[in-house]
Amino acid sequence: MIPYGRQDITQADIDAVVSVLRSDFLTQGPMVPRFERAVADHVGAAHAVAVNSATSALHIACLALGLGAGDWLWTTPTTFVASANCGLYCGAQVDFVDIDSRTYNMCPRALRAKLEVAAREGRLPKIVVPVHLCGQPCDMAAIHALAVEFGFKIIEDASHAIGGRYRGEYVGNCRHSDVTVFSFHPVKIVTTAEGGLATTNDADVARRMELFRSHGITRDPLQMTHAPDGPWYYQQVELGYNYRMTEIQAALGVSQMDRLDEYVAQRHALARRYDTLLASLPVITPWQHPDGYSGLHLYVIRVPSGGNGLSHAAVFEALRAGGIGVNLHYIPVHTQPYYQAMGFAPGDFPEAERYYEEAISLPMYATLTETEQDKVVETLANAVRH
Ligand SMILES: *Cc1c(COP(=O)(O)O)cnc(C)c1O
């Protein structure tokens, strides 16, 4: 089976991990700060806070921005459930904004329309979470302008987008947001096995995310309610969690970051090749907005229903049967049973639902060979021309 995504582990990665295993610190040592610095410097952000997953990073970002009961968090329905669940973890309510039909990202026009209604009804969101689907940056200038006008905070879910750029600058520099979150799951662009990280330019938000990462405990006398009792002293000043990244993971991350730009360039070469090879097939290839340079975590095609070819589901099944590990990103979050029980229903976000009826993620990862890619295209061609 050719998977839709997979990690690339080199001898340098293995050496980096082994050297941590032989060192004094398996956790809470020097590698996590080094990884944080490597990512912050690469993307051009002032601060980075590494944690054990992007899900944890979304959670502590929401907490650091003050999300709580009575607040609203809005995101896109076309995302992994974690982009929405982080709001529920904080006791807030979650709502969605439909996607743009070309980029599949949160539509700024739909966002404005929904904000105008919410302003009249007195239920504006505290946080909006745009997701850079497939690695293609959202229209951040437009979303940021709405944040200024309507007074909400922005967390970019850039789980697909590390190494991508928006208007020439790396995703994660937070020029148009409060916090940006990355994922280092093995299917993503660079990996730490499990892992996530949040960048920000706000020192206070960074400090609060560090607190929530580790039990809400501080050893900094400036953050304590009174002078330390002694050198052993620490205080718990918030209710935090254990979301720490290990030294082993951070060492793998530091080593992988060396190859980030190379990985993204390889993904772009593969995407251009797919674009050419698929041009004559009755499928829609990904449209790229000129403002963005995608991280290209995913290469999603759409198989329009109707016509005389196989249905979307049949094409999907034919690919799987042919040894191509395709996937579907994503089932609209509002149609998940957990969200339907909160009152959402099919029909609420039609563009996201139409996308779901047609989307297929083809294999896309840095080490995918041209021979493998040819097999994907051939299997797809046979399926759609059936
Ligand atoms: C993978 C992913 C996450 C969650 O990442 P983890 O590191 O697995 O917690 C969140 N949002 C999106 C869009 C993702 O693709």
Distance CA 328, CA 160 (A): 14
CA dihedral for 33, 38, 41, 45, sign (positive or negative): negative
Q: Which of 257, 273, 300 is the last residue of a domain?
A: 257
pLDDT (0 to 100) of residue 172: 98
55 and 192 housed in the same domain: yes
Do residues 192 and 278 share a domain? no
Is there a contact between 77 and 46 (Cβ–Cβ < 8 Å)?
no
Question: Which among 197, 227, 257 is the end of a domain?
Answer: 257
- Measure 234 CA to ligand 1 centroid, in angstroms: 32
pLDDT value for 305:
77
Which domain CATH number covers 24? 3.40.640.10
- Which atom in ligand 1 lies closest to the alpha carbon of residue 82? 10
Q: How far apart are CA 228 and CA 225, in angstroms?
A: 9
Q: Which atom of ligand 1 is nearest to the CA of 195?
A: 7
Domain of 41?
2-257
Integer Cα distance of 203 and 215 in angstroms: 19
The DSSP call for residue 138 is P
How many domains, in total, are found in the chain? 2
Burial string for 328-346 (b: 16+ CB within 10 Å, else e) reads bbbbbbbbbeebeeeebee
Ligand 1, residues at Cβ distance < 6 Å: 53-55, 79-80, 82-83, 131, 157, 159-160, 183, 185, 196
Total length of the chain: 386
Neighbour-count burial of 101, counting CB atoms closer than 10 A to its CB (0-12 exposed, 13-18 middle, 19+ buried): exposed
Which among 235, 257, 279 is the end of a domain? 257
Q: Domain check: are 193 and 310 in the same one?
A: no
User: Which residue has the CA at smallest separation from atom 5 of ligand 1?
Assistant: 54
Residue 251 and residue 266 in one domain: no
Token pair belonging to 349: 């976000």
Identify whether residues 227 and 269 lie together within a single domain. no
Whether residues 35 and 64 share a domain: the answer is yes
CATH number for the domain spanning 310: value is: 3.90.1150.10
Q: How far is the CA of 236 from the centre of ligand 1 (A)?
A: 29
**How does pLDDT run across 93-111, given as a tens digit for each residue?**
999 999 999 999 999 999 9
| Claim to verify: residue 31 and residue 82 sit in the same structural domain | yes
* CA 382 to ligand 1 center in whole angstroms: 33
Q: Which of 253, 34, 77, 55 is nearest to 162 (CA)?
A: 253
Do 268 and 206 share a domain, yes or no? no
107 C-beta neighbours (distance < 10 Å), count: 23
Distance from chain centroid for Cα 18 = 29
Q: In angstroms, rounded to a whole number, what is the distance separating the alpha carbons of residues 227 and 93?
A: 39
pLDDT at 157: 99
- Please give the number of the atom of ligand 1 that sits closest to the Cα of 53: 7
User: For ligand 1, what atom is nearest to the CA of residue 297?
Assistant: 15
37 & 157 share domain = yes
Substitution candidate for ligand 1 out of 136, 183, 194, 330 with most atoms within 8 A of CB: 183
pLDDT at residue number 297: 98
pLDDT confidence of residue 10: 98
User: Do 226 and 336 sit in the same domain of this protein?
Assistant: no
* Residues 241 and 291 grouped into a single domain: no
Of 202, 195, 204, 236, residue with least CA distance to 219 = 236
Return the pLDDT at 361: 98
Rg (CA), the chain: 21
CA distance linking residue 171 with residue 295, whole number of Å:
9
Identify whether the C-beta of residue 164 lies closer than 8 Å to the C-beta of residue 292: yes
CA angle at 26 for the pair 89 and 18, rounded to the nearest 5°: 120
pLDDT along the chain (386 residues), means of 10: 97 98 98 98 98 98 98 98 98 98 98 98 98 98 98 98 98 98 98 98 98 97 95 96 98 98 98 98 96 98 80 95 97 98 98 98 97 98 88
- Identify the three-state secondary structure at position 98: coil
pLDDT score recorded for residue 226: 95
Rounded Cα gap, residues 116 and 330, in angstroms: 28
- 78, 165, 163: which is closest to 129 by C-alpha? 78
- The verdict on 208 and 306 lying in the same domain is no
